[in-house]
Amino acid sequence: MPGRIARRAAFVAEVPMQAIWKGSVSFGLVSIPVKVYAATQEKDISFRQVHAADGGRIRYRRVCEVDGEEVPYSDIAKGYELPDGGMVILTSDDFAQLPLPSRHVVEVLEFVPEEQVDPIYVSRSYYLQPDGPATKPYVLLRDALRNSGQTAVVKVALRNRESLALLRPKDDVLVLQTMLWPDEVRDASFAAPQEDVEVRPQEIAMAESYIQTLQTDFDPTRYHDDYRAALEELIAAKTAGREVEAPAAAPPGGEVVDLMAALQASVEEARRARGETGGKAGGRPSATKKTPKKAAAKPSKKQAGKKTAKKTAAKKSAGKKAARKSA
């Protein structure tokens, strides 16, 4: 069964990619004809909805509530319901005739440093391919963006929706990344801690030590979809009529009482996982400060006076003894 799943995935990968949009990038007075292709594909295991008792498929039918008839997909349009219950019907031709310049043109609005764009705004990614004699201006824009360290902010209409987007180079290709509009990103203040929390410098230092222990260069090929792999194993086991071995249960998480101890243990565990031994956590001095020795208390003025008087008297006594001996 896993082999069948793998073959099916390979077949999907071999299917020629279809351009989802054709138009041009408007770069000043330069027009660059391009084709747009989806840059990503989500790989998941698809399931059918079935009756648990006998495995029968559950079917959904598109039925018109006015005449009770099943409606073919080709006859379905989009409807906008008015406050009074009326319906405005919009067909695919209506959407195609929207008077939007961005419907066929990727309009460059401005250029900004890429690090200024919060990733929360990024929605979907697409590859742009030069179309026809557009190779030279395509390469010109790609290299100019790379050399300047800037990202183009553009407007484009894809899939019946106008979006802000970013245009940036990735290797030898221009990538278009659609963005959410500002009013589509929810305010995050509700999720911030409501009470004042004091974090000690030692705790911050230990947390930074843990970060440094796991610090590396990003390589997405190191990570794998364990959930999908487990599903494939489950399907294969059920097909073969065998039991699936349950993984060892993770220890239950509890409330962290000693934050410093938990951080220290995290650093040590991370270093062990990387095969590092010896030395202090994270290659830095331990964040746990040693308790300094208490300085000796300074004598008071009265005590100092008494000590001085005793020293003077001792000197006088020593002088008298020396005079007697000489006599």
Query: Which pLDDT value is given to residue 17?
Result: 82
Say how far apart CA 31 and CA 9 lie, in whole Å: 38
Q: What residue has token string 């964040």? A: 287
Query: Which pLDDT value is given to residue 286?
Result: 41
How high does pLDDT run on average in the chain?
79
Is pTM beyond 0.85? Reply is: no
CB-based contacts of 249: which residues, under 8 Å, 6+ apart? none
Q: Which of 123, 128, 174, 130 is nearest to 151 (CA)?
A: 174
- Partnered with residue 105 across adjacent β-strands are 24
Query: Which pLDDT value is given to residue 213?
Result: 86
Measured in whole angstroms, the distance separating CA 253 from the mean position of its chain's CA atoms is 24
Listed as ranges, residues in the chain with pLDDT below 50 are 1-2, 5, 7-13, 281-298, 300-302, 304, 306, 319-327
- Partnered with residue 130 across adjacent β-strands are 34
Name the pairing type of β-strands 21-27 and 105-113. Answer: parallel
